[in-house]
Copies of this chain bind each other. A is one copy, B any other.
Amino acid sequence: MAKRVTSVTPVTRPVLTRERIVQAAVDLIERGGVDGLSMRGVAAELGVAVMSLYNHVPNKSALLEGVAEYVVAGMDLPDDPDEPFTDRARALVRAFRKVAHDYPRSMTIVFTHKIDTPIGLRPAERALALASAAGFDGETSVRIMRALMAYALGAQMREVGHAKVLDHETPITEGTGGLDPAEYPHVIAFAPQLARYDPETDFEFGLDLFIEALDALHRRLDAAGGGGDAAT
């Protein structure tokens, strides 16, 4: 039995690995924000010299890519082919929300960096799977996937805090909040509703809209008999 173990490699547990470096970077980002991340900081966190990092990661940009990859890899993607495709779509988009909640600050990096490894295609695979299972053809499935991604990304970007773009930044509590009533009548009029910020409900509202539209499209194609698995 022992003979089977041909190489008893000394297993000198590696002081540094790409994994450990990425992990440390994620921790630092969640603690101090993306701007606070530095190669020197990561090295200090790991108790090594800065330059040691470069044995495992070519540069900072590659490290950030690793961070994006790590976050997406951490997505808990559901997959129950027996459910209606609308529920599967819902679950997929919600998975974005979950990971954005767990890594709010690292999420910015997912938004702004490419992911070169297959891991980055996992969400796309799931989206394509559920769309084509519903009977949409290839072209439509790809478009559905991209639309779902767009909403998932945008909703999460707003929620994470960056890019709350153009909304409720200055909760107007009294009067016009310094706003010109002629230019912003509705913002002023709806100040109470704008102030009541409930991301969960907002997110689900938009998601419902999307899913409903998807379902309507599905019924329409069904009725027409077209759009079905043309590939088969």
Binding site for B on A (CB under 8 A): 72, 108, 110-116, 118, 120-125, 128-129, 132, 138-139, 141-143, 145-147, 149-155, 157-158, 162-167, 169-170, 178-180, 183-187, 189-190, 192-194, 196, 201-202, 205-206, 209-210, 212-214, 216-217, 231
Contact = CB atoms under 8 A, between A and B. Distances in A.
A153 B163 contact: yes
What are the nearest 5 A-B pairs in CB distance? Answer: A154-B154, A147-B206, A128-B186, A150-B154, A213-B213
Given A158-B153, A167-B146, A189 B138 contact: yes
A125 B186 contact: yes
A165 B153 contact: yes
Given A184-B121, A194-B142, A202-B146, A116 B151 contact: no
Q: Is the interface of A mostly helix, strand, loop or mixed?
A: helix
Nearest to A209: B213
A231 to B, nearest CB: 8
A128 to B, nearest CB: 4
A108 B111 CA distance: 9
